[in-house]
Structure 1
Amino acid sequence: MKLKRFLLRYYPPGIIVEFERGVSVSTRAIDLLDLSPETDVEELLVEIQRSEPLITESHVDQVKHLLVRLQEKLSQQDQRSFSSSKELKAHVLPLTNVAFDKSGSRFLTGSYDRTCRVWDTASGGELHTLQGHGNVVYAVAFNNPYGDKIATGSFDKTCKLWCAESGKCYHTFRGHKAEIVCLAFNPQSTLVATGSMDATARLWDVQNGEQVSTLMGHSAEVLCLSFDSSGGQLVTGSFDHTLAVWDVASGRCLHVLTGHSGEISNVQFNWDGSLIVSGSMDKTCKLWEPLEGVCVATLSGHSEEVLDVTFDLSGRLLASGSADGTARLYSTDTRQCLATLEGHGGEISKVCFSPQGRWLLTAGSDGTARLWDVRSGVCLQVLQGHRDEIFSCAFNYEGDAIITGSKDNTCRIWT
């Protein structure tokens, strides 16, 4: 093996080692989830050298420089407020979802009007209208971090793969027997996973457009799914009250996770793949260890259904949003509730952390999105202007722009 170069990853902090093995190029990630501005760089360097044989003495100064850059990034203060810079009348019918590419320079909107649209964030101009679906476009995603492909999942039972630059349709994935309601690219951008109301998830090959496997076992609709950061495992959540953990290479079910008494609203791996969080209509969240397939904590406190859950990028915090109009912040270490975020006038359908993990964004049926300080639980800002429920929201990679999508048929860019 021969070291080729280092790549810096700001969120979560890490260094990607790119190396040659024969004629192929591979990468390994050095995750630095514990890095802080106070970390002793010299001690960390020794630890990194011990764990990564490709980093020899000749590379120490370069790695030290990268660590200092990461510390400087972590030291930057988030003292800003957001204002609505653009309102886009995005579609003639209500939006279903929004998604940024990694850089935040473009974003997607899906709609009941059967299209997905690609937008330039800076200008608010439309770049492409992706047409061809015969029903609602419900799920949309860029293949981040690359950003050169787009996947759309529709109520017409198909998923389409598009060129992000030209808007050309590469493939139409056919096989599901009912509506597609969730999808995701694996981290390597070689596969797309789709979940459907037909109680299955399917894996599709990005290159040739062929189906790789059908993940069967749920007895009701598959509403949510998530790859781990290695792309080796996929978790699915279903209306049958269970989660399933799948081996991606073989398509084999590794574990069925039981314990919820209501439908699953969302599932997600933490960054290192050591935990899964699930939210449920039974008013609870659960933490699971995927290796053993066991529940390690039940997080209660909400008085109504949990509609969304998410980890921050460090995996040490998670947030839940509920129909009771509150969001909650939990520690994954202590499994305790750190704060209850109150202020919305209706249910909270979406929660997401900023990439730096210092803010939480919530979207509500009261037509507002709210920005919260994670450390104090204080509401920093109310993003007002939409005239109907906000059902989707997202940060860009740098955390300095926000998109909100609403049932008022508009999306707004906040910078």
Structure 2
Amino acid sequence: MSLYTSYYTRQLALRPEAISTPEVVDGKKVQQAAVPRRTVDATGPYVQWLQTRALRGQDARSWPDLLPGPVGALGMLPPAAMLHQPVSGAATKFAGQAPSKTRSSVNVVCWTPDGRRCLSGTQAGEFTMWDGASFQFESILQAHEGPVRAMTYTRSGTFLVSGDDGGVVRFWKTNLELVKSVQAHGESLRGLAFAPSDLKFATASDDGTVRVWDFARVAAEQVLAGHGGDVRCVDWNPRSSQLVSGSKDGLLKLWCPRAGRCIATLHGHRATVMQAAWNANGHWVLSASRDASCAVHDMRMRRALASFRGPSKDVVCAAWHPIHEDLFVAGGNNGSLLYWLASRPEAPVGAVPAAHEGTVWSLGWHPVGHLLASGGGDFATKFWCR
């Protein structure tokens, strides 16, 4: 995705208030040049895609390959147009940085459903809203009394749900107006996931349980116990009534939320499972563990398809690309990012060796797939483009 300075930001940079005050050096006033803001444009590639389809047909596989370097970047089409080239979705180019206003660790990041803004939850219990194109600060809210540990929108995009270190779950409108707060667990809440219908949602906690809730009544319907330690993650199958959870005991468990029972247990890791995420196809589960590996499991066969060596000895987070079914990214405690194809476990297809100065705690793809947001222990939310 190409970077450009928009007309709006160019005009903003020319305003008197945008120009820095003169600095006195050796008794002389030296005027520093204003630095224009950088913006990631997602509109141009879509216009180019529509024009290219009209001239060359629908099948993108017959179109000319991109040239390496900046010249080829100008011809980069959106991810939806390059399904035959999933490697093109690896966001390895730095696009912008949004430092925490209170110098606290960024524990979780997520995009609004329309992709216009990115929301980060911090160790100080705050929500910070950033513009999704220019990455500029928009607003900040003291959302929780403790660190924010989990955050997700309903699949319909009408509500935001967040959880904190005290086990409290809060429900918000899209304008961040608080609707309801409930004590969901007695210990830290680690994961949130919604059913495909949004009628139910699941929570995971350090108390060793996964709980299934009725969204309308905000009432617990099932308590899923069986892990031998803290449950660090939970995700709901986007196509069926199945839950997957990962725990400090190194196990992945597949649950039936209706019956409240465990369907299968997978022993693929030797240390804490920090992340478990369903693929959009509803068959694969991506897991990230502190045993320095990621794994892709086929839940139809109840076994691992491939294992991937992580970016560090502790792989803390991982996320599937929203468009390219085969592509995922993983972040570790050494601040690096690695991009993999599930069908090519031999070597990563992209890497950012020092994306953060501290641990990468959270990763979130833009709904269109052209941007990646990462939250780290270096008090920053960073944005990466293709």
TM more than 0.5? yes
User: Aligned pair 1:78/2:86, yes or no?
Assistant: yes
Which residue of structure 1 aligns with residue 177 of structure 2?
Answer: 170
Higher relative contact order (CA 8 A, sep 6+): 2
Which residue of structure 1 aligns with residue 229 of structure 2?
Answer: 262
| Deviations 1:105-129, CA, capped at 9 Å, x for gaps | 3101122344321111221211222
Question: Is residue 100–residue 396 contact of structure 1 (8 Å, CA) maintained in 2?
Answer: yes
Which residue of structure 2 aligns with residue 217 of structure 1?
Answer: none
Aligned pair count reads 300
Following superposition, the deviation at residue 338 of structure 1 comes to 0.9
User: Aligned pair 1:274/2:241, yes or no?
Assistant: yes
User: Aligned pair 1:125/2:136, yes or no?
Assistant: yes
Q: Distance in 1 between matches of 2:350 and 2:363?
A: 15
- Sequence identity, in percent? 23
Question: Is residue 149–residue 165 contact of structure 2 (8 Å, CA) maintained in 1?
Answer: yes
Which residue of structure 1 aligns with residue 114 of structure 2?
Answer: 103
| Deviations 1:262-293, CA, capped at 9 Å, x for gaps | 22111111012332111111111011233433
Which residue of structure 2 aligns with residue 226 of structure 1?
Answer: 193
Aligned to 1:361, the other structure's residue is in SS state strand
Q: Distance in 2 between matches of 1:150 and 1:251?
A: 14
Q: Distance in 2 between matches of 1:96 and 1:145?
A: 24
| Deviations 1:2-37, CA, capped at 9 Å, x for gaps | xxxxxxxxxxxxxxxxxxxxxxxxxxxxxxxxxxx9
Which residue of structure 2 aligns with residue 393 of structure 1?
Answer: 363
Match for 2:341: what amino acid?
A: D
Question: Is residue 284–residue 299 contact of structure 2 (8 Å, CA) maintained in 1?
Answer: yes
Which residue of structure 2 aligns with residue 87 of structure 1?
Answer: 97
User: Aligned pair 1:373/2:341, yes or no?
Assistant: yes
Following superposition, the deviation at residue 84 of structure 1 comes to 0.9
Question: Is residue 114–residue 134 contact of structure 1 (8 Å, CA) maintained in 2?
Answer: yes
Following superposition, the deviation at residue 399 of structure 1 comes to 1.6
Following superposition, the deviation at residue 322 of structure 1 comes to 0.7
| Deviations 1:230-256, CA, capped at 9 Å, x for gaps | 123233333343333344456665544
Distance 1:122 1:255, change over 3 A: closer
Following superposition, the deviation at residue 161 of structure 1 comes to 3.2
Q: Distance in 1 between matches of 2:116 and 2:131?
A: 6
Following superposition, the deviation at residue 98 of structure 1 comes to 0.9
Unaligned runs of 5+ in 1: 1-36, 38-71, 177-194, 200-219
Which residue of structure 2 aligns with residue 116 of structure 1?
Answer: 127
Question: Is residue 96–residue 135 contact of structure 2 (8 Å, CA) maintained in 1?
Answer: yes
Which residue of structure 1 aligns with residue 328 of structure 2?
Answer: 360
Following superposition, the deviation at residue 131 of structure 1 comes to 4.3
Distance 1:246 1:258, change over 3 A: same
Distance 1:275 1:172, change over 3 A: closer
TM-score normalised according to structure 2 size: 0.69
Distance 1:271 1:73, change over 3 A: farther
Distance 1:94 1:326, change over 3 A: same
Question: Is residue 101–residue 144 contact of structure 1 (8 Å, CA) maintained in 2?
Answer: no
Q: Distance in 1 between matches of 2:207 and 2:145?
A: 28
Q: Distance in 2 between matches of 1:225 and 1:152?
A: 8
Q: Distance in 2 between matches of 1:133 and 1:296?
A: 35
Question: Is residue 303–residue 324 contact of structure 1 (8 Å, CA) maintained in 2?
Answer: yes
Following superposition, the deviation at residue 376 of structure 1 comes to 1.6
Q: Distance in 2 between matches of 1:171 and 1:146?
A: 15
User: Aligned pair 1:411/2:381, yes or no?
Assistant: yes
Q: CA RMSD in A?
A: 2.9
